[in-house]
Amino acid sequence: MGFEGSERNVVSKASERIVDVRVWLIPPEDREPASTDGHEAKPANWIAGNIANPLSRYPEFAANRASGINSRLLGGLIVEVESSSGVIGVASGSGGFAAAAIIEGHLARLITGAAANQHEWIWDRMYAGSLHYGRKGMALHAISAVDLAVWDLHGKLAGLPVHALIGGRMREALRCYATGPRPDIARELGFIAGKLPLPNAPCAGDEGFEANVDLARSWRQRVGKDFPLLYDCWMALDVAYTVRLMEAIQPLGVRWVEDCLPPDEYEGFRQIRERGNQNVLMVTGEHEYALTGFKQLLDAGVQILQPDLGWCGGMTVLLKISALAHAYRVPVIPHCGGMYGAHFSITRSDLDIAEYVVSAAEGDAVSPMHEPYLLGATIPERGRHDPGDAPGFGMELNRDLPLQRPFHGEVWPALAGQD
């Protein structure tokens, strides 16, 4: 039996060919401040401030994470993928100038001419074509942004939300935990848990360790005994420190430690799983890429995976990660959430929990995660997030803001004369 009427029309539209790929850069002044001297750079908000990270052992970066990890070369970008009828899919990403060069100088020619619904074909060409310089890191940031834009295009051509394309809703809304410095406000806003950034790395010694424990203790006293707390360690710890921390914070109701080790230390994760307090979950994955690394994390005993859709390879690879994790009975909670994570998580049968970053400067208010460059994102209401049913991911590029397109498909001419 063939497709009839509107069903056939939907399939036809989703098969429209990609004719153009464009990358816009978000101006550097709209990102966190970068500095070679962390003592002089004032953090713009809590995300940039005193958070344990791999550079914490260098004093000039201890109090201002942004001054160490940000670079004018990197930052935000917007990818547009246009079909033959002029419909445009759009997605935000990261990697800035470097990722834009990869996309317009290489990936665009690998996918131009593909049908908007050929996700596996498109992803395989991008990944296989960049194997000699990719596999992880910047190439995957670039691939992720293109992949998400193609899914958005597919949805807009079909007139369907992305969640309808990947399995359909399992629920009306997702329960969200809040990432930010104010668990008390998160509780008032209806979130189910509060995730705190760990302030001190092992280089801060016993005094820093006690301060980490005291922070959890003080928040437990303020939010009461029944509100779960979580700790985000942002790749800053080692095995022994993590095991010691898990033991100290478990009586305080801290449910998990996240990203405790640098992402490639799979053996270290296995040791933590064996030696750490079994009542504190070991959670990680935001800095992992593609499929093989996630299998190594699963084999090491990680109990919740947290792929970032803008880094891991996009929606196409996340669906494979989810299937693999399901075989291990391990839940997947995408890093940061937002509209991309919500469209994925609303279709999953094993867990109805999502992350939402409270990105206001003081961590005291909820705002759309993709603004001001993408408009149309929904936000949690009383801690419940419904991504809506608008076509694609439900967002459009805000063309009233300044954007820079450095390459116009010609990378080398654009680079000529650059410092």
Per domain, the residue ranges of the chain are 5-31+70-160+398-415, 165-390
The answer to whether residue 409 scores a pLDDT higher than 80 is no
Which of 8-22, 163-177, 404-418 reaches the highest mean pLDDT?
Answer: 163-177
Which of the given ranges, 10-14, 324-328, 366-370, has the highest pLDDT on average? 324-328
pLDDT-derived band at 413 (thresholds 50, 70, 90) equals low
pLDDT category of residue 361 using cuts at 50, 70 and 90? confident
Report the run of H or E that residue 94 belongs to, with start and end.
strand 88-94
Q: Which CATH class is domain 165-390?
A: alpha beta
Of 333, 272, 332, 259, residue with least CA distance to 301: 272
Separation in Å, CA 12 to CA 4, 6, 89, 238: 12, 10, 17, 53
Predicted local confidence at residue 351, as pLDDT: 86
Q: How far apart are CA 312 and CA 318, in angstroms?
A: 7
Q: What's the mean pLDDT in 272-277?
A: 97
Predicted confidence (pLDDT) at residue 29 exceeds the cutoff of 60? no
Q: How confident is the model at residue 419 (pLDDT cuts 50, 70, 90)?
A: very low
Instruction: Express each pLDDT in 213-266 by its tens digit.
Output: 999 999 999 999 999 999 999 999 999 999 999 999 999 999 999 999 999 999
pLDDT of residue 32: 44
Residue 208 is which amino acid? G
pLDDT digits (tens, 9 = 90+) for 308-320: 999 999 999 999 9
* Arithmetic mean of pLDDT over the chain: 91
User: Is 287 an annotated catalytic residue?
Assistant: no
Burial class for 413, CB neighbours closer than 10 Å (0-12, 13-18, 19+): exposed
Q: Flag whether pLDDT at 374 surpasses 70.
A: yes
Residue 79, H or E segment: strand 76-83
- SS3 at position 291: coil
Going by pLDDT thresholds of 50, 70 and 90, the confidence category of residue 71 is confident
Q: What does the H/E/C string look like for 145-186? A: HHHHHHHHHHHHHHCCEHHHHCCCCCCCCEEEEEECCCHHHH
**Contact predicate 263/284, CB 8 Å:** yes
Q: What is the pLDDT of residue 307?
A: 98
Same fold, 5-31+70-160+398-415 and 165-390: no
Confidence band of 3 (pLDDT split at 50, 70, 90): very low
Task: Identify the pLDDT of residue 33.
Answer: 44
Q: Which two tokens stand for residue 357?
A: 């970053």
Instruction: For residue 127, count CB atoms less than 10 angstroms from its CB and return exposed for 0-12, middle for 13-18, buried for 19 or more.
Output: buried
Q: How far is CA 327 from the centre of its chain?
A: 23
Catalytic residue among 119, 141, 335, 343: 335
Burial of 405 per CB tally in 10 Å (0-12, 13-18, 19+)? middle
pLDDT exceeds 80 at position 341? yes
Domain 5-31+70-160+398-415 has CATH 3.30.390.10: yes
- Which stretch of 26-30, 96-100, 165-169, 177-181 has the lowest confidence by average pLDDT? 26-30
